[in-house]
């Protein structure tokens, strides 16, 4: 028997959805499109294609409208037996069908599958409901249908093989809704089209034989569908039980826990009892499982009390299904296969069994498995060996539950999978070579035409696609080129491609791309491939791979298109609230943070931030960080938020700083009750995830917050408490120890420079020399080691980040090429940092420059300290080279500073260096101002106004040079009583003395020279009257601006200092600090209400943040985790701004509609002077005023 060949088009139902429902609603649009598509292929021509179809279509419509049963209308849907028919009828049917196929091929104008398209066109025109069974392009399922029909006719005289093929078709179409009407429509359509071609040659026996075959197949499909549901249930349950038997009873215990909590509340004793009961049950289960696996002798030994031996045997026995499978395969002699291709089959089988309710997914996983197995030696891939090992492992794992029904169900599944796999196992390698050769032989010009034709054809098939392909032509060509490349890459590494396509599909979920566009796009690609490539196997390979890609892509989009993603695409917080309201309370946070498709996932929250849907992102953060509670437990999404997105602070700081405050607000709980006569209230700050990362190390949250350079964020209560906690708990002592050496160094340096005796004394010189050696050693070595350690920490952290980016598989191993890439990237990073230090890229990217400037301002004082440290090291080294005692080391009375080598020029240079070093030592103590926020803020203000001083000094320097050089030309012989202006340097000094008020002369001394007097008065006017007053005004404005955020900048400076200090914090000290925080202990909300762990509880003034409404949303009713929260019926005063505006809009709209009822034309005076035109209905309308007023009050 020739095995049936499976196509990536799968069964009659495909993953690619072409919106058939909308086509049916548009009447004849689908018919016209299909006629156009049929004629455009150049296969049959319009004269043959349309006229040939019209007669069968009309006859089929007439027969179906009559509704009468014909002589062949008999179906057996009760059982699937061997096909039995008179050999004469079989022979006539096969002869007629062969003649029909020969005439279809013999005209030379088209493909054989066009006859299948004609059949489907007639069926869809007559019974539009049948079209819902086929959601792939016409050419795909028509070709597949005709292949299957040809194979069925060929096997008419082989009942056993025919039954096996029908069972396989039933397996592939298990979830297709197929009924008697559809069967009749198919049968009549096929017979009419065969008769239209053969005419008188289509005998009654042939018609009878084909009818019997079609009825047999249709009845078998319906019968298989009825029996498949029970088998699928049995398979999925047994597979789940085999893999999760160790977790048996967890769901039952959780349900019992919910019931007990509903009855007993949230007492700790009840929880402990439940926990101990759970542990006992689990232990009993494992004990029972282990004892069952032991031999009789081992049981007796265990009873005898040899517990250590029992434990050793338990650990050596297989406990999981995979281990059991490996052992059974090894026992049967398949150990080598079990470690190779059987592992791939086992992985694929897990996905297949999990998704047995979807034949599309089963076909997809089967095709991927075929591609994976094609890499092995096909002679060694014996699928029957896997079946033996599989059934043996299942029997061993489920000894009590295994039955004959299980044996039959698993055999049925595997036998059908074998037929699917064996029919295509040899194709992937042939396809790969054909498609690589075909695409590789095309020139760049031809490939460009290929890509252009794809979009031309696609826009013809689906004009609406132009609304979604809005990118530039170069981008479109890149997409088309990527599509062509992926068709070949799929054969090379199918698992990686499935993962990449799933990631691509999840991104398309965020883009909101309709899945019904993939179908015409695939059709366009396949048709253009047929135009540019003459190789039939290359065309088949291209179609095979591309349709499989579209399957994976479409499935990913469908699975990932949740209601939450729909709300994000609409950027509507109202839709988001409606979508998340249906989430089970135990999975509410997961709905907002995680969508898993295969091995890929996407975070709705992160997508909302990246796509700019800030309104929805804000609503999602508020929902996640809202504490909800029932009688059993509290629900708070902060832990899951930081677990799913450890870098949430960094992302918000870089991409959505406005949402950072929303997140920080959500980490605070304040009690609405006060204590001590209303003076204080209890506050919980949930800082655990802000301080600790997932591995218990110091989190980088504070680093990214300080890098924003925003003083308003740093003074937020959460950040302020975090900074204060770190400062008092761990950093202050460490900072004091490090700066204490600076104080000692300053004292020693002062003694070494100011303790020079008036007269030479050897003892004093020895003490002086000791001080200087200590100063040089302490200054150069300590500061040098400190700076080198900073460089080492920075280099280590950056190197680790690069390694993490390169090592995508996470196994910690890299090859030589990856190592060289790491080195090159690190080299580029070092050069970039060097350019930043040298400020060579000041005029670079404005966005990057702004970000770097903001980050620089956050650590301004820390960087100033580093610069001063480098300066001190440099000055001490220079002083060491000019040290008098070293220069006089050859003197007989050493140590001394008096020797011929110590010339006056050397002493002068040393004194200058000493002065500069003394200043630098004092400047190193400036960062001690961090102990006082007020002093630190004052220094930051001083540093901020230095920019204005720089501008003033620049302008003043220009004036001094201008007037100094000008006056010196005129006053070569001027008297010096009014000032020395004889040359340019003296003139500049005199003018600067006038500016700063140190001028000792009198203007009357220069009255005799009017030109000099005018020049001096002009200089005074510009420098003193203009520049000095302008400087005062600028300083006032700058101070007013800085003063608003003065404390924030001081807090920002302290936060940056803490970040630097934590980089060198010892692990022991950090662990001790974390232990003292006691984050694992639950803290009370109100008295007696034991709340959530992970917080720092403080008491603040009640007047600081007034609160009259409880921040926790409490609900009654059931406490089951699987039940959504009840509808939130809040008072209007509790609504946020957007909700209030929506409510106000509704009330105003309702009011305007009611007011329109009172708009009546002016009443005319009646005969008696009484106004006519009074509407009696107005009386009833007037009664609506009360309801209007009621709505307004509610608003």
10-residue mean pLDDT series, the chain (1195 residues): 36 33 34 36 36 46 49 70 83 84 57 58 61 59 73 82 79 70 76 79 83 84 77 86 60 48 42 38 35 36 41 54 85 84 89 83 87 88 88 86 87 86 86 89 90 91 85 88 89 87 80 80 88 86 88 85 82 85 90 82 87 88 92 92 92 90 92 86 92 90 88 89 91 84 87 72 81 85 83 80 70 70 81 65 42 49 76 88 82 77 81 90 83 77 80 90 87 73 86 81 73 87 89 84 77 85 86 91 88 91 85 89 80 54 77 71 44 40 38 36
Which phi and psi (to 5°) does residue 478 adopt?
Answer: -65, -40
Helix pair 573-580, 614-624: axis angle to 10 deg: 40
Q: d(Cα 68, Cα 71) in Å, to the nearest integer?
A: 10
Q: d(Cα 1107, Cα 1099) in Å, to the nearest integer?
A: 14
Ranges of H-type helices in 683-782: 688-691, 701-707, 711-714, 717-726, 732-754, 762-776
Instruction: Give, in degrees to the nearest 5, the angle at Cα 686 between 684 and 689.
Output: 170
Q: Assign 634 to helix, strand or coil.
A: strand
What integer pLDDT is reported at residue 623 of this predicted model?
A: 92
Contact 722, 687 (CB under 8 A): yes
DSSP string, 713-728: HHTSHHHHHHHHHHII
Which residues lie across from 113 on neighbouring strands?
none
What integer pLDDT is reported at residue 830 of this predicted model?
A: 80
Q: Assign 1131 to helix, strand or coil.
A: coil
DSSP letter at 1096? E
Q: d(Cα 1079, Cα 694) in Å, to the nearest integer?
A: 14
What integer pLDDT is reported at residue 40 of this predicted model?
A: 41
pTM above 0.75, yes or no: no
What integer pLDDT is reported at residue 58 of this predicted model?
A: 53
What integer pLDDT is reported at residue 923 of this predicted model?
A: 87
Contact 399, 352 (CB under 8 A): no
1167: number of Cβ within 10 Å: 6
DSSP letter at 584? B
What integer pLDDT is reported at residue 719 of this predicted model?
A: 92
DSSP letter at 791? H
Which phi and psi (to 5°) does residue 1100 adopt?
Answer: -120, 170
What integer pLDDT is reported at residue 852 of this predicted model?
A: 47
Instruction: Give, in degrees to the nearest 5, the angle at Cα 1096 between 1093 and 1100.
Output: 130
Residue 630, CA atoms < 13 Å, CB-side half-sphere: 19
Instruction: Give, in degrees to the nearest 5, the angle at Cα 703 between 697 and 708.
Output: 155
Q: d(Cα 1003, Cα 1007) in Å, to the nearest integer?
A: 7
Ranges of H-type helices in 971-1028: 984-996, 1010-1020
Q: d(Cα 7, Cα 370) in Å, to the nearest integer?
A: 11
Report residue 530 CA to chain centroid gap. 39
198 exposure class (CB count in 10 Å sphere: 0-12, 13-18, 19+) = middle
What integer pLDDT is reported at residue 311 of this predicted model?
A: 42
847 exposure class (CB count in 10 Å sphere: 0-12, 13-18, 19+) = exposed
What integer pLDDT is reported at residue 1010 of this predicted model?
A: 82
Ranges of H-type helices in 755-815: 762-776, 783-806
- The bridge status of strand 1113-1114 relative to strand 628-629 is parallel
Which residues lie across from 698 on neighbouring strands?
692
DSSP letter at 595? E
Q: d(Cα 1179, Cα 684) in Å, to the nearest integer?
A: 58
Which residues lie across from 602 on neighbouring strands?
595
Report residue 123 CA to chain centroid gap. 45
């Amino acid at each position: 028997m020739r095995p049936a060949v499976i196509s990536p088009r799968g069964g009659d139902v495909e993953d690619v959805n072409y919106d058939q429902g909308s086509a049916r609603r548009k009447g004849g649009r689908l018919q016209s499109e299909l006629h156009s598509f049929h004629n455009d292929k150049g296969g049959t021509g319009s004269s043959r294609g349309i006229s040939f179809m019209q007669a069968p279509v009309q006859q089929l419509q007439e027969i179906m409208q009559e509704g009468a049963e014909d002589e062949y209308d008999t179906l057996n849907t009760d059982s699937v037996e061997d096909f039995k028919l008179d050999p004469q009828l079989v022979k006539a049917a096969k002869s007629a069908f062969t003649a029909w196929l020969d005439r279809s091929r013999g005209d030379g104008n088209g493909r054989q599958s066009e006859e299948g398209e004609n059949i489907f066109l007639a069926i869809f025109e007559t019974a539009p409901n049948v079209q819902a069974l086929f959601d792939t392009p016409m050419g795909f399922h028509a070709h597949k249908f005709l292949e299957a029909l040809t194979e069925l006719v060929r096997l008419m005289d082989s009942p056993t093989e025919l039954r096996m093929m029908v069972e396989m078709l039933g397996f592939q179409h298990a979830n297709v809704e197929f009924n008697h009407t559809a069967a009749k429509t198919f049968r009549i359509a096929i017979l009419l089209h065969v008769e239209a071609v053969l005419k008188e040659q289509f005998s009654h026996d042939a018609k009878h034989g084909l009818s019997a075959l079609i009825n047999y197949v249709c009845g078998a499909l319906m019968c298989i569908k009825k029996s498949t549901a029970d088998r699928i249930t049995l398979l999925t349950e047994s597979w789940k039980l085999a893999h999760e038997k160790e977790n048996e009873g967890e769901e039952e215990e959780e349900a019992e826990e919910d019931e007990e909590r509903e009855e007993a509340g949230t007492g700790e004793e009840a929880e402990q009892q439940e926990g101990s009961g759970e542990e006992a049950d689990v232990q009993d289960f494992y004990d029972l499982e282990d004892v069952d696996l032991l031999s009789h002798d081992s049981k007796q030994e265990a009873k005898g009390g040899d517990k250590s031996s029992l434990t050793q045997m338990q650990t050596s026995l297989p406990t999981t299904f995979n281990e059991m499978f490996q052992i059974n395969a090894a026992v049967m002699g398949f150990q080598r296969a079990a470690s190779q291709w059987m592992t791939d089959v086992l992985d694929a089988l897990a996905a297949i069994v999990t998704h047995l309710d979807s034949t599309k997914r089963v076909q997809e996983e089967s095709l991927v498995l075929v591609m994976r197995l094609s890499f092995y030696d096909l002679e060694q891939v014996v699928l029957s060996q896997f079946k033996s090992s599989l059934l043996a492992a299942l029997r061993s794992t489920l000894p009590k539950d295994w039955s004959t029904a299980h044996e039959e169900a698993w055999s049925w599944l595997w036998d059908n999978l074998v037929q699917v796999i064996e029919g295509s196992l040899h194709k992937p390698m042939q396809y790969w070579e054909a498609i690589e050769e075909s695409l590789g032989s095309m020139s760049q010009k031809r490939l460009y035409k290929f890509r252009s034709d794809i979009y031309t054809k696609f826009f013809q098939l689906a004009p609406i696609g132009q609304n979604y392909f809005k990118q530039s032509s170069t981008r479109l060509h890149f997409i088309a080129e990527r599509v062509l490349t992926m068709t070949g890459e799929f054969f090379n590494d199918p698992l990686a491609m499935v993962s990449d396509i799933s990631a691509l599909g999840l991104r398309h979920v965020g883009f909101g791309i309709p899945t019904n566009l993939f179908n015409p796009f695939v059709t366009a690609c396949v048709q253009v491939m047929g135009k540019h490539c003459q190789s039939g196997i290359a065309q088949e390979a291209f179609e095979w791979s591309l349709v499989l890609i579209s399957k994976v892509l479409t499935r990913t989009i469908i699975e990932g298109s949740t209601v939450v993603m729909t709300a994000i695409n609409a950027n509507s917080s109202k839709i988001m609230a409606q979508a998340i309201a249906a989430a089970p309370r135990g999975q509410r946070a997961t709905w907002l943070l995680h969508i898993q498709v295969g091995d890929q996932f996407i975070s709705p929250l992160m997508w909302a931030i990246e796509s700019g849907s800030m309104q929805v992102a804000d609503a999602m953060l508020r929902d996640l960080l809202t504490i909800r509670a029932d009688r059993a437990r509290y629900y708070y999404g902060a832990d899951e938020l930081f677990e799913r997105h450890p870098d949430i602070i960094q992302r918000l700081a870089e991409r959505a700083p406005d949402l950072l405050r929303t997140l920080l607000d959500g980490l605070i709980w304040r009690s609405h009750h006060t204590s001590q006569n209303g003076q204080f209230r209890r506050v919980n700050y949930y800082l655990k995830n802000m301080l600790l990362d997932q591995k218990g190390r110091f989190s980088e949250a504070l680093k990214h917050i300080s890098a924003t350079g925003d003083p308003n964020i740093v003074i937020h209560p959460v950040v302020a408490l975090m900074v204060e906690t770190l400062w008092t708990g761990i950093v202050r002592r460490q900072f004091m120890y490090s700066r204490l050496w600076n104080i000692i160094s300053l004292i020693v340096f002062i003694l070494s420079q100011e303790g020079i005796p008036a007269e030479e004394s050897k003892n004093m010189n020895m003490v002086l020399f000791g001080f200087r050696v200590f100063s040089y050693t302490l200054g150069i070595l300590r500061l040098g080691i400190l700076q080198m350690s900073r460089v080492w920490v920075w280099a280590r952290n950056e190197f680790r980040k690069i390694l993490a980016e390169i090592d995508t598989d996470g196994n910690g191993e890299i090859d030589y090429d990856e190592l060289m890439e790491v080195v090159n990237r690190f080299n580029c990073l070092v050069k970039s940092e060097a350019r930043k230090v040298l400020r060579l890229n000041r005029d670079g990217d404005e966005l990057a420059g702004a970000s770097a400037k903001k980050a620089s301002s956050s650590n301004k004082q820390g960087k100033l300290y580093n610069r001063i440290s480098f300066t001190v090291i440099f000055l001490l080294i220079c002083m060491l080279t000019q040290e008098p005692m070293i220069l006089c080391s050859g003197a007989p009375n050493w140590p001394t500073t008096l020797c011929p080598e110590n010339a006056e020029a050397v002493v002068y240079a040393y004194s200058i260096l000493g002065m500069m070093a003394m200043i630098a030592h004092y400047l190193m103590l400036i960062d001690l101002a961090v102990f006082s926020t007020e002093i630190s803020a004052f220094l930051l203000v001083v540093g901020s106004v230095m920019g204005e001083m720089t501008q003033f000094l620049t302008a003043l320097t220009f004036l001094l040079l201008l007037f100094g050089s000008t006056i010196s030309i005129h006053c070569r012989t001027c008297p010096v009583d009014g000032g020395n202006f004889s040359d340019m340097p003296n003139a500049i000094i005199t003018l600067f003395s006038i500016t700063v008020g140190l001028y000792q002369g009198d203007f009357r001394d220069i009255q005799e020279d009017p030109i000099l007097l005018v020049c001096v008065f002009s200089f005074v006017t510009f420098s003193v009257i203009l520049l000095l007053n302008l400087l005062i005004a600028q300083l006032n404005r700058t101070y007013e601006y800085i003063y608003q955020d003065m404390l924030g900048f001081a807090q920002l400076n302290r936060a940056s200092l803490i970040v630097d200090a934590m980089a060198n914090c010892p692990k022991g000290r950090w662990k001790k600090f974390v232990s003292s925080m006691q984050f694992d202990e639950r803290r009370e909300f109100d008295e007696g209400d034991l709340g959530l762990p992970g917080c720092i509880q403080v008491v603040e003034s009640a007047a600081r943040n007034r609160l009259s409404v409880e921040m926790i949303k409490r609900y009654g009713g059931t406490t089951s985790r699987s039940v959504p929260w009840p509808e939130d019926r809040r008072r209007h005063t509790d609504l946020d701004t957007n909700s209030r505006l929506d409510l106000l809009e509704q009330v105003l709209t309702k009011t305007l509609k009611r007011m329109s009822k009172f708009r009546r034309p002016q009443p005319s005076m009646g005969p008696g002077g009484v106004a006519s035109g009074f509407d009696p209905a107005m009386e009833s309308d007037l009664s609506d005023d009360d309801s209007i007023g009621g709505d307004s009050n509610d608003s």
